[in-house]
Structure 1
Amino acid sequence: MVHLIRYGLVLVVVAFAVYYLATQWDDIVHALSVMSWQSVVLSQILVLVGLAFGTLSWVTILNGLGPKVPLLRGSQVLLVGQLGKYVPGSVWSYVMQMELGRQYGILRARVLVTALYAAGIGVVASLMLGALALPVVVEGHEWLLWLFLLLPIGLVCLHPRIMTALASFVLKLFRRPPLEHRVSYGTVLGGLGWSLLSYVAYGLHLWLLLNSLVDPDLGSLILLTGAIALGFTIGLLAFFLPSGIGVREAILIAAMGTLITLPEATAISLASRAMFTVGDLLAAGIAIGFVLLLRRRLRREQYDYLREEVRYEHGTQTADAEPDSVR
């Protein structure tokens, strides 16, 4: 019954994502029709590359908080779980990640701490790159300056000592033992580095779409990278909207409006949103496909991981640390 509920939840969030594409289909097709197919294909590939970098950031943080989780398992937890962002109220993404993590033996509390810190690192990375686009985007959106008050706070929270203390506090709320080690600088820098690379890939994604209409230079690439990074943070804060829809596009249109006409900027932002939705669905499907193909190897790795998790929990086996497939 528990398995059926989980699979049902996955089907619901996939349905929401597909529904978004269906409702916007005519506008999306019109937007893509003015762009060269080569740019569209390469741009879609860069979305997948950015998602891969973001996944590496998430798994780096996850493995920095406890026993190492196989990359494929961690990827499946994130990529399938994050489809929950298409359901109004972004909390569903975190719920799905925790439930999928529990199914594979990863403590819910650890998945939640990972998700929160991945979001925080993403905000820090986006604000660092968003500063590149701020002089252009801020015109008419002066309130965006307030966002940068989060940057020093975020940088302080990324210090390994503070990160360890906050992670242990959340684990305590879940009645779990605190971290038995301090989060390393490698975990923090690795998570931040992969996150920065993901935004650079997304900036290139936009730059290629723009290349179908004008001949953009290096300066426009820097601008678009900063704009899309900033748009992701604003979309994250607008948690009441499915995947931050609308607010991210407003930032992109403001940035691209300095390079192309407003209708063209609107078309590109709409096409970009659709390509991210397709990318999310493809990435989740690819992750599930690899897990099914390599399920025997992953099952062996899962037993090894469980033994390490039990040791990490000071020899106390709990139902939350044991996957459903083993029981």
Structure 2
Amino acid sequence: MNRKSLITALGGALALATLYYAGLRLKAEWRMLQDWHPDFRIWAVLAAAALGYALACLLLVSGWRRLLAGLGAENPAWTPVCRIYARSQLGKYLPGNIFHLLGRQALGHRYGIGQKVLAASTFYELTGLGVAAATLALPTLSWVGLHLAAFHLPPAWLGIGLTGLGLVMSAGLARRLRHTRWHWILNRGVTVAWLWAYLNYLIFFLLAGGLLVVVTLTLTPRTPDSLAVGLLPGLFAAGWLAGFVTPGAPSGIGIREGILILGLEHMAPGAPGALIALLLRGATVLGDGLFFLLFGNPWTFIKERH
């Protein structure tokens, strides 16, 4: 077994372990679940959450489109870019967690976007998503006490500090690349595009994390502390980030649920964490399906641009 296969296998094992943990929590909540009878309000909340997640994915499209334009793609129109993104999005649920990126590369090239531009846009998208998720996740993890508690920093300053550090590093790298043959990969235009994309991704995680807030408040008998409620979007971002960096976990399945359950134990005592995590997963999967159906226009083919 080579190194890459070993890392993927370890990531898959970690995903299975967290799924087992989620199963244990679900078993612990089983008696309560036997008495739980979802009414129309619950189903309406979940349906609204799925639709809200589908609409929030448009922010991901907007970020990717800005990156394409910043990297030199010629006038990337909204409609085809949105279709490319929506059609490839479901590929993230396949083992390997890269097929949505490969699909976007193939569809984008068919539309007429250069392979180098597509590859660079993927790199910047992944870094932007990672930094945006970490911006929200670190304050939450600091408050919960899972990480960086020894620094005793106000939660907001952690996010601000991380963003500032990322900007300084980007500026330094841009100066080094300016006089090389890779100057087009990181220049002023690309930096501005990345910042706009980062803003889109930050709002996406706030909205997606807001769905966690709604589901938690709907299913929790006792309202959590107001500060904890305000930091729940950061818990969603932490779960997304952990799943994102774990190989062998398609769309972070299992990893995200484990983080949510563990965080809810601290942030919303008494909340049915396993149920909330599973229902939120169902809402996001359904949301990805709606995003594909509403904006991917799967009944037509993307025409090549001439």
- State the TM-score, normalizing by the size of structure 2: 0.72
Equivalent residue for 2:129? 122
Equivalent residue for 1:33? 38
Give the 5 Å matches for 1:8-23.
none
Question: What per-residue deviation string (whole Å, max 9, x for no partner) do you get for residues 233-264 of structure 1?
Answer: 111111321111111111111221131436x1
Q: Does 1:279 align with 2:270?
A: no
Give the 5 Å matches for 1:162-177.
162=174, 165=177
- Asked whether the equivalents of residues 264 and 273 of structure 2 are also in contact (C-alpha less than 8 Å), the reply is yes
Q: Alpha carbons of 1:205 and 1:32: their partners in 2 closer, same or farther (altered >3 Å)?
A: farther
Which of 262, 270, 278 lines up with 1:261 in the alignment? 270
Q: Write out the 4+ residue segments of structure 1 that deviate beyond 6 Å after TM superposition.
A: 29-32, 148-153
1:196 Cα deviation after fit:
0.6
Equivalent residue for 2:30? none
Task: Look up the SS of the partner of 1:183 in the other structure.
Answer: helix
Task: Look up the SS of the partner of 2:297 in the other structure.
Answer: helix
Aligned sequence identity (%): 23
Paired with 2:230 and 2:189, the residues of 1 have a C-alpha distance of 32
Task: Look up the SS of the partner of 1:102 in the other structure.
Answer: helix
Amino acid at match of 1:121: G
- Asked whether the equivalents of residues 59 and 74 of structure 1 are also in contact (C-alpha less than 8 Å), the reply is yes
Q: Does 1:159 align with 2:168?
A: no
Give the 5 Å matches for 1:59-74.
59-66=65-72, 67-74=74-81
Give the 5 Å matches for 1:230-269.
230-258=238-266, 259-261=268-270, 264-269=272-277
- State the TM-score, normalizing by the size of structure 1: 0.68
Paired with 1:154 and 1:71, the residues of 2 have a C-alpha distance of 28
- Asked whether the equivalents of residues 257 and 265 of structure 1 are also in contact (C-alpha less than 8 Å), the reply is yes
Paired with 1:164 and 1:217, the residues of 2 have a C-alpha distance of 47
Q: CA RMSD in A?
A: 3.6
Equivalent residue for 1:316? none
Paired with 1:82 and 1:164, the residues of 2 have a C-alpha distance of 34
1:268 Cα deviation after fit:
0.8
Paired with 2:110 and 2:249, the residues of 1 have a C-alpha distance of 28
Amino acid at match of 2:75: K
Question: What per-residue deviation string (whole Å, max 9, x for no partner) do you get for residues 143-177 of structure 1?
Answer: 9x9xx9987774445439629949x87xx7xxxx9
Equivalent residue for 1:45? 51
Q: Does 1:228 align with 2:246?
A: no
Amino acid at match of 1:52: L
Which of 200, 206, 231 lines up with 1:200 in the alignment? 206
Paired with 2:52 and 2:37, the residues of 1 have a C-alpha distance of 16
Query: Structure 1 stretches of 5 or more lacking a match?
Result: 1-23, 300-322
Question: What per-residue deviation string (whole Å, max 9, x for no partner) do you get for residues 280-307 of structure 1?
Answer: 1211222222995xx9xx96xxxxxxxx
Paired with 1:256 and 1:192, the residues of 2 have a C-alpha distance of 27
Equivalent residue for 1:110? 117
- Asked whether the equivalents of residues 32 and 271 of structure 1 are also in contact (C-alpha less than 8 Å), the reply is no
- Asked whether the equivalents of residues 72 and 291 of structure 1 are also in contact (C-alpha less than 8 Å), the reply is no
Query: Structure 2 stretches of 5 or more lacking a match?
Result: 1-22, 27-32, 152-158
Q: Which has the higher contact order (CA 8 A, sep 6+)?
A: 2
Q: Which moved more, 1:195-204 or 1:81-90?
A: 81-90
Q: Which moved more, 1:179-188 or 1:48-57?
A: 179-188
Paired with 1:154 and 1:187, the residues of 2 have a C-alpha distance of 14
Paired with 2:175 and 2:209, the residues of 1 have a C-alpha distance of 29
